[in-house]
């Protein structure tokens, strides 16, 4: 039905626009699927497809850096250091996510948790913007290993839906003395292994129910998510440099408040 394709495209837009900014793409999808009553293909294949679209956007935008790193591994200090930093940032989510995946999906994935987390996260972002200085670390290449590991630990807060993976990593980096643009860029790089691992784990966990039923819906969501994520990744650094993170914070507070009101009136 046409309405199914429109909903799939809309959810792809939401995934692409929100994955790499601190407003929680997972939280938005939980709220919207609940409100729309969207029933995608069996298993997690639709959600996996739109996540893959977002990952692909990062890989394309940063392909020169990623390829330069891969080709320089083992013989280029800059490439080696960058790789270790990303892996250290990814490690805590890998370990904690593996052991807590069932609890997180079973208990925390509900609209009430998302709405409250959106509001609380918005307040935290405003506080960081108000009280934390500009920072001293202005490039991902200047990251120390300990700094990357600490950011990775803070990323684990995003396992609570509504917190936002990018929000946790960017704001965590800001608290640890990283300048806004560098914090956002490291969050982009960290997204690749983190999202890829989460996607692979979901594929494995749902391997018995995954089918290609609704291939048109899957392809629609994937393409739209990819295009929207491409737009965001190419423009968000300039936006942050100009406006900071406060607009995202106010948006979080507004959408979380509206959702709490909607849920309370049901």
What are 117-167's pLDDT values in tens digits?
999 999 999 999 999 988 899 999 999 999 999 999 999 999 998 999 999
Distances in whole angstroms, Cα of residue 203 to Cα of each of 159, 209, 210: 18, 9, 8
Do the beta carbons of residue 92 and residue 197 sit within 8 Å? no
Backbone angles phi, psi at 137, to 5 degrees: -85, 115
- Per-residue pLDDT band at 47 (split at 50, 70, 90): confident
Do the beta carbons of residue 132 and residue 175 sit within 8 Å? yes
What are 238-264's pLDDT values in tens digits?
999 899 999 999 999 999 999 999 999
Q: What is the pTM of this model?
A: 0.89
Instruction: Please state the domain extents for the chain.
Output: 2-264
Cα separation, 59 vs 131, whole angstroms: 34
Local structure of 139: helix, strand or coil: coil
Please name which of 147, 183, 143 lies closest in space to residue 166, comparing C-alpha atoms: 183
Which token pair is 164? 């936002």
Q: Which residues contact 190 (CB under 8 A, 6 or more apart)?
A: 86, 89, 90, 151, 152, 155, 169
Do the beta carbons of residue 155 and residue 194 sit within 8 Å? yes
């Amino acid at each position: 039905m046409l309405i199914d394709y429109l909903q799939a495209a809309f959810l792809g837009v939401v995934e692409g626009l929100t994955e790499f900014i601190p407003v929680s793409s997972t939280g938005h999808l939980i709220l919207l699927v609940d409100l729309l009553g969207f029933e995608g293909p069996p298993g997690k294949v639709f959600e996996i497809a739109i996540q893959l679209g977002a990952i692909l956007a990062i890989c394309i935008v940063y392909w020169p850096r990623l390829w330069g790193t891969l080709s320089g591994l083992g013989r280029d200090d800059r490439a080696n250091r960058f790789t270790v930093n990303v892996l250290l940032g990814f490690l805590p989510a890998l370990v904690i996510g593996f052991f807590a995946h069932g609890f997180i999906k079973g208990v925390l994935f509900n609209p009430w948790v998302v709405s409250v987390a959106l509001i609380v996260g918005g307040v935290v972002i405003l506080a960081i913007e108000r009280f934390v200085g500009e920072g001293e670390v202005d490039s991902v290449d200047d990251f120390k290993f300990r700094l990357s590991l600490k950011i990775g630990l803070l990323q684990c807060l995003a396992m609570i839906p509504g917190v936002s993976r990018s929000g946790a990593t960017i704001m965590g980096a800001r608290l640890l003395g990283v300048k806004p643009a560098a914090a956002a860029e490291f969050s982009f790089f960290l997204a690749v292994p983190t999202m890829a691992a989460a996607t692979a784990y979901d594929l494995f966990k749902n391997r018995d129910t995954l089918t290609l039923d609704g291939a048109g819906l899957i392809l629609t969501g994937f393409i739209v998510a990819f295009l929207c994520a491409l737009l965001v990744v190419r423009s968000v650094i300039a936006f942050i440099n100009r406006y900071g993170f406060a607009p995202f914070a106010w948006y979080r507070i507004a959408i979380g408040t509206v959702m709490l009101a909607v849920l309370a009136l049901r």
